């Protein structure tokens, strides 16, 4: 299913791995998201569970939930759980895209009230590895 391959890639960003960095008043987290499990509770919903790695070491996990909004678009939400807390985000994506961007809408722990953006892109052809860059303001 083309949606499933695409969604696997959605959790991640600009294709680079790395540690959190501060830049011009923003905090940047670079991670690689690797698919662990994929569920299809109905014809319109896809749920992906992924492990997240920073500098090759497991740093947390995420859950991506996407619902088909139109023939060629999905509305997605993501929850990324790291040691310091959880980040929430959302985005709308074309089914044919292998990269994109979204908005960070909040979080818990160190990330309570977080705002910002993220980018992602597939790192392999089946979309099971995704690079993600989170920029917190």
Q: What does the pLDDT average to over 64-93?
A: 96
pLDDT at 24 over 60: no
pLDDT at 89 over 60: yes
Q: State whether residue 85 is helix, strand or coil.
A: strand
- pLDDT confidence bin for 26, thresholds 50/70/90: confident
Q: Is 47 within 8 Å of 39 (Cβ atoms)? A: yes
Domain boundaries along the sequence of the chain: 2-136
- 13 DSSP assignment: B
CATH 2.30.30 is the classification of domain 2-136? no
Please tell me the pTM assigned to this model.
0.82
- pLDDT confidence bin for 64, thresholds 50/70/90: very high
pLDDT at 3 over 60: no
pLDDT in tens, 32-62: 999 999 999 999 999 999 999 999 999 999 9
Dist. CA 74–CA 27, nearest whole Å: 28
Q: Is 14 within 8 Å of 132 (Cβ atoms)? A: yes
Map 103-134 to HEC letters: EEEEECHHHCCCCEEEEEEECCCCCCEEEEEE
Mean pLDDT of the chain: 86
State the DSSP H helix or E strand holding residue 6, giving kind and residue range, or none if neither. helix 2-10
């Amino acid at each position: 299913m083309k949606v499933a391959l695409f969604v696997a890639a959605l959790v991640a960003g600009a294709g680079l791995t790395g540690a959190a960095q501060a830049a011009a008043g923003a905090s940047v987290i670079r991670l690689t998201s690797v698919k662990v499990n994929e569920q299809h509770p109905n014809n319109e919903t896809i749920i992906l569970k992924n492990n997240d790695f920073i500098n090759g070491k497991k740093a947390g996990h995420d859950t991506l939930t996407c619902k088909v909004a139109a023939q060629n678009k999905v509305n997605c939400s993501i929850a990324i759980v790291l040691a310091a807390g959880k980040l929430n985000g959302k985005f709308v994506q074309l089914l044919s895209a292998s990269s994109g961007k979204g908005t960070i809408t909040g979080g818990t722990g160190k990330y309570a009230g977080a705002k910002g953006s993220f980018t992602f892109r597939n790192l392999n052809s089946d979309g099971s590895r995704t690079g993600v860059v989170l920029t917190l303001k």
